Structure 1
Amino acid sequence: MMSAMSDRQPTLPNRQTPFSEAFKQFIAQGWAPHDPVLPAPLPAAGPARARRDAVSAQFPGERLVVPAGGLKIRSNDTDFRYRPHSAFAHLTGLGTDREPDAVLVLEPTDAGHEATLYFKPRAPRDSAEFYADARHGEMWVGKRPSLEELAALCGVDCAPVEELPDRIRKDAGTIPVRVVTGVADGELAEVLAEIRAGLDAEAAEAVAAADTELVVALSELRLTKDGYEIEQMREACRQTADGFAAVVADLPEAVRRGRGERWVEGVFGLHARHVGNAAGYDTIAASGEHACTLHWIRNDGDLRPQDLLLLDAGVELDSLYTADVTRTLPVSGTFSPAQRRVYEAVLEAQEAGIAAAQPGATFSDVHKAAVAVIARHLEAWGLLPVTAEESLGEEGGQHRRWMVHGTSHHLGIDVHDCAQARNERYRQGTLEAGMVLTVEPGLYFKGDDELVPDELRGIGVRIEDDILITADGNENLSAGLPRTADDVEAWMADVWAGRRA
């Protein structure tokens, strides 16, 4: 990777080559003019305006500051791929690779709030930024939008980010300011610290509580998806199903190559990057006993024909909405009797959880329904030291040795969406039409678990689907992927037959 003068690393004398005056004059010449036609609004622009109106109604008379966040260093002067903060993306409609360090400000007015998006627009071609700034320059990161272009895209008035400090300072003593915390850095963080300096302990505590209230409100705003979001989730699930099919098609090659978990991760990642932004989270490609590690993302193991592959993966679209799907697949294409026994128990538990995901039920009802089936099977197999009923009681929990995690989480623009919502709105909250949640029970029998019979050791199974709550029930958004053991085997055979054809 090449380097130039950059505000990320202002003093790198061993890597900088000075620019001559002749070069500066020459580089500014001979460029075609920028296209004067403004871009069409993003599909999310209209829904984002409605979301801003909803936030405005909750906090009248207050200045609301929602940063996109900046680039994060991966190594020295190289950064991780940029992704804006989810609250910022939700309120602006701007998705992947859009405007590091941008800040959305909702300024209070008599009619509610006026939104302004502060960011760094592209520089003219006769400026040093154009050719010498590795963080913002067009030569380095591509053509940035103008103020007018970004305003046309997202339907929000735009201003240079250099004007933001004065906006934040203006009337800061009389207009309450709430900020999405943990995101601001650089000059914005300095200005916020400045206007809040000198607060006594009680006032500082009140300010922190006000910021937290905004964070919670923006998280809870995402609990119920609008029509645009629901269609994005459907599309993410459709693309994820195609990605799983691509993995199955290449399983023989993954076995042959060795280190097949990495091959699986790579195949899915290629598909996700091609059709969307990326995988929505680190893919879990867990073969054999690795499937008994819930968040196995090292993906450095071999695939063996006698093993299962637990693939937990989702495509994140350019809009940043992601699927989150798990299928447990026999690498050979056929479940062994022991594998099928575990698989069908987990599938029964998932069916119970999906059936419980109804409008008016509580979020925790889904887990209770699924785990009751898990406990019943564990009792029938002679693994529980108590009855299933006792294990499910408050003083029990023995079944959690083999399913330690919860069954569900909200899903959307984050894979674990709405994570800052209050417990009474989340775990104890009532399910409503428009909510999207996962249903993902599992059973995990580690290879060194001496309480488990030999034929079950090293088997890990999870089945996960993305469920939309509807007015009269639910819709399985990821139903395009087979779930029963027979259907999984038939699907894999069809995929391989198609590849050979």
Structure 2
Amino acid sequence: MTQPSDASHNPAQEQPLQDRVENRSHRPSSDAFKAFMGSQWQEVEAIDFQPDAAAPYAAQRRAAVSRQFPTDRLVIPAGAPKVRSNDTDYRFRPHSAFAHLTGLGVDHEPEAVLVMQPVAEGSGDDGSNHEATLFFRPLAGRDSEEFYSNTKTGEFWVGPVPTLKELNQRTGLPTKDLTELEYAVTVDAGVVEIGGTRIRLVRETDQNMDALVDTSRINTGVDLEISDALDGELAEFLSELRLIKDEHEIAEMCGSVESTIRGFEDIVRAIPQATKHDRGERVIETAFFARARLEGNDLGYDTIAAAGNNATVLHWIRNTGQVKEGDLVLVDAGVEADSLYTADITRTLPVSGTFTEIQAKIYNAVLEAADAALAAAKPGVLFRDIHLTAMEVLAQHLSDWGILPVSVEEALSAEGQQHRRWMPHGTSHHLGLDVHDCAQARREMYLDAPLRPGMIFTIEPGLYFKNEDLAIPAEFRGIGVRIEDDILVTQDGAESLSAHLPRTVQEIESWMAQVWNS
């Protein structure tokens, strides 16, 4: 039998490419099925919701943004789902700026958008210069095809989502259907000098929103290059707004830290099993992941479970290595709460339960650097000086061990820095909704800024001696040590939120023995 020619048979014309993903489905489409699917469902009981604990704090944050940009329309998208593979997405997590300004964690729809509309000075929300509205896709009725046919938004597939009323009550924000979003974003938009309203957008969060705003700008004669700079100013301010944590944020951070500490106990409990597995690092990683999902939303970042020489790879997340008796295992992990605030803690543990003499010597040097950095942290001290304090301690130890090729003074100078061969990363970073929080803040507001009460950041010095490093004695090779704690600046000093997770050699050895014997 002859095959039909290309001219007579073109499968692409029969079924569009974008529709073929549904070829695996056997969904009925008869009118009888549709009528039956839309009937005999129990009515959903109407519930009144109390405001979320974060709601009043989010309102204060929006007021601060309104003061900064009093006449501009501000558009803050939650973001869209990200494809993991073909038609499967990663678990959705909203953009941190959206979460910060709405107070919402994970309980809302992807593609939601917060729009802050400028109004007459002082006539907006709580006396601000804006009226904020939350746009999102509400639950489809059970009498609609979307209920059972839409794999992205249908309740049959993804479960219930909040109603407009629910999020209004929980956030205190007026809520509207996404179908009204385009008009709200683009109405009267244009060049300010001729009476238009200027838009500022949190970019690269939702491609559709980027396209909508850019198209509006092009159609109204707004300069795109200038607009990009204005959008950048919004991102910068929203990042800097998170530098000082309020009471609610501090409480959420403390909860994340406590869950993370329990996760580290799970890690210790899993170490004996890890030594028996070809991918022992994965055993450790999995133990912590279970805690993150049980008590929070997810991991705050991919867990680093690095044994032996892998601990000298700063961001080792493959976690495919063996966990061998006599080695150290460096674990850098954090639980992200349902509110999306994450902890970030590192401990370096002896696989056998006790440190060798050389391991303890290196560990104690790192511990001394961490303690010195914490002692230096207090209001008014420059953020960058925390790092410099830790480096002074580590450089001195490297010199005492005969490893540093120059004097301590020369190494610590800007022209030297030889000690950084074994400690190439920074000692601290801000922490909060993002593990590396406030990343768009200006240098003078971050690295060169004085510490202020309410700041939360890490202190995490380390020493990393690679097997391949011929500049060090053989006994040092293959050892990586990092100690990381989460620090809150107080009115008169600083407090380690993770202080009761064992840190000293003696504490760790005693703790591990207690866990294994319990």
TM norm. shorter chain > 0.5: yes
Which residue is equivalent to 2:7?
Answer: none
2:330 is paired with a residue whose SS is strand
- What code does the residue aligned with 1:428 have? D
Contact 2:107 2:161 in 1 (8 A): no
Deviation at 1:126, TM superposition (A): 1.1
Segments of 4+ in structure 1 off by > 3 A?
8-13
Which residue is equivalent to 2:44?
Answer: 34
- What code does the residue aligned with 1:38 have? D
1:94 is paired with a residue whose SS is coil
Quote the Cα distance in structure 2 between the aligned partners of 1:304 and 1:88: 44
Instruction: Give yes or no for the alignment of 1:182 onto 2:199.
Output: no
1:309 is paired with a residue whose SS is strand
Deviation at 1:40, TM superposition (A): 2.1
Note the alpha carbon deviations across 1:53-108, whole angstroms, 9 max, x for none: 11111110110000000000000000011000000000011112531000000111
Contact 1:353 1:367 in 2 (8 A): yes
Which residue is equivalent to 2:171?
Answer: 154
Quote the Cα distance in structure 2 between the aligned partners of 1:360 and 1:337: 39
Deviation at 1:12, TM superposition (A): 3.3
1:117 is paired with a residue whose SS is strand
Q: CA RMSD in A?
A: 1.5
1:299 to 319, 341, 346: 319
Instruction: Give yes or no for the alignment of 1:85 onto 2:102.
Output: no
After superposition, residues 418-497 of structure 1 pair within 5 angstroms as 418-497=438-517
Deviation at 1:37, TM superposition (A): 1.3
Deviation at 1:199, TM superposition (A): 7.4
Note the alpha carbon deviations across 1:206-234, whole angstroms, 9 max, x for none: 21111000000000000000000001111
2:347 is paired with a residue whose SS is strand
1:443 is paired with a residue whose SS is strand
Deviation at 1:26, TM superposition (A): 0.5
Which residue is equivalent to 1:69?
Answer: 79
Which residue is equivalent to 1:14?
Answer: 23
Which residue is equivalent to 1:3?
Answer: none
Query: Percent identity at matched positions?
Result: 53
Note the alpha carbon deviations across 1:230-271, whole angstroms, 9 max, x for none: 011111111111000011012111112331100000000001
- What code does the residue aligned with 1:101 have? E
1:197 is paired with a residue whose SS is helix
Contact 2:300 2:336 in 1 (8 A): yes
Which residue is equivalent to 2:6?
Answer: none
Which residue is equivalent to 1:193?
Answer: 214
Which residue is equivalent to 2:295?
Answer: 275
Contact 2:77 2:114 in 1 (8 A): yes
Quote the Cα distance in structure 2 between the aligned partners of 1:442 and 1:453: 18
2:159 to 131, 135, 142: 142
1:361 to 381, 396, 401: 381
Note the alpha carbon deviations across 1:149-180, whole angstroms, 9 max, x for none: 11112211100111111111211021111000
1:205 to 220, 225, 235: 225
Which residue is equivalent to 2:418?
Answer: 398
Quote the Cα distance in structure 1 between the aligned partners of 2:408 and 2:466: 21
Quote the Cα distance in structure 1 between the aligned partners of 2:439 and 2:79: 18
Deviation at 1:467, TM superposition (A): 0.3
Note the alpha carbon deviations across 1:257-303, whole angstroms, 9 max, x for none: 33110000000000110000111000000000000000000000111
Quote the Cα distance in structure 1 between the aligned partners of 2:446 and 2:19: 45
Which residue is equivalent to 1:52?
Answer: 62
Contact 1:84 1:97 in 2 (8 A): no
Quote the Cα distance in structure 2 between the aligned partners of 1:191 and 1:323: 36
After superposition, residues 206-225 of structure 1 pair within 5 angstroms as 206-225=226-245
- What code does the residue aligned with 2:143 have? D
Deviation at 1:43, TM superposition (A): 1.5
Quote the Cα distance in structure 1 between the aligned partners of 2:111 and 2:347: 38
Which residue is equivalent to 1:5?
Answer: none
Q: Which moved more, 1:55-64 or 1:219-228?
A: 55-64
1:12 is paired with a residue whose SS is helix
Deviation at 1:305, TM superposition (A): 1.1
Contact 1:238 1:480 in 2 (8 A): no
Contact 1:353 1:366 in 2 (8 A): yes
- What code does the residue aligned with 2:420 have? R
Note the alpha carbon deviations across 1:14-66, whole angstroms, 9 max, x for none: 23434111111101111111121122222111111111111111110110000
Which TM-score applies when normalising by structure 1?
A: 0.96
Quote the Cα distance in structure 1 between the aligned partners of 2:110 and 2:381: 40
1:415 to 421, 430, 435: 435
Contact 1:276 1:315 in 2 (8 A): yes
Please say which structure displays the higher CA radius of gyration.
Answer: 2
Which residue is equivalent to 1:4?
Answer: none
Contact 2:204 2:210 in 1 (8 A): no
Give the number of equivalent residue pairs. Answer: 490
Give the unaligned 5+ runs of structure 1. Answer: 1-7
Q: For the structure 1 residues 152 and 460, does the alpha-carbon distance in structure 2 shift closer, same or farther, using more than 3 Å as the test? A: same
Quote the Cα distance in structure 2 between the aligned partners of 1:53 and 1:405: 36
- What code does the residue aligned with 1:189 have? D
Quote the Cα distance in structure 2 between the aligned partners of 1:191 and 1:204: 13
Q: For the structure 1 residues 10 and 86, does the alpha-carbon distance in structure 2 shift closer, same or farther, using more than 3 Å as the test? A: farther
Note the alpha carbon deviations across 1:348-376, whole angstroms, 9 max, x for none: 00011111111100110100000110100
- What code does the residue aligned with 2:202 have? V
After superposition, residues 331-410 of structure 1 pair within 5 angstroms as 331-410=351-430
Which residue is equivalent to 1:318?
Answer: 338
Quote the Cα distance in structure 1 between the aligned partners of 2:480 and 2:220: 53
Which TM-score applies when normalising by structure 2?
A: 0.93
Deviation at 1:198, TM superposition (A): 5.6
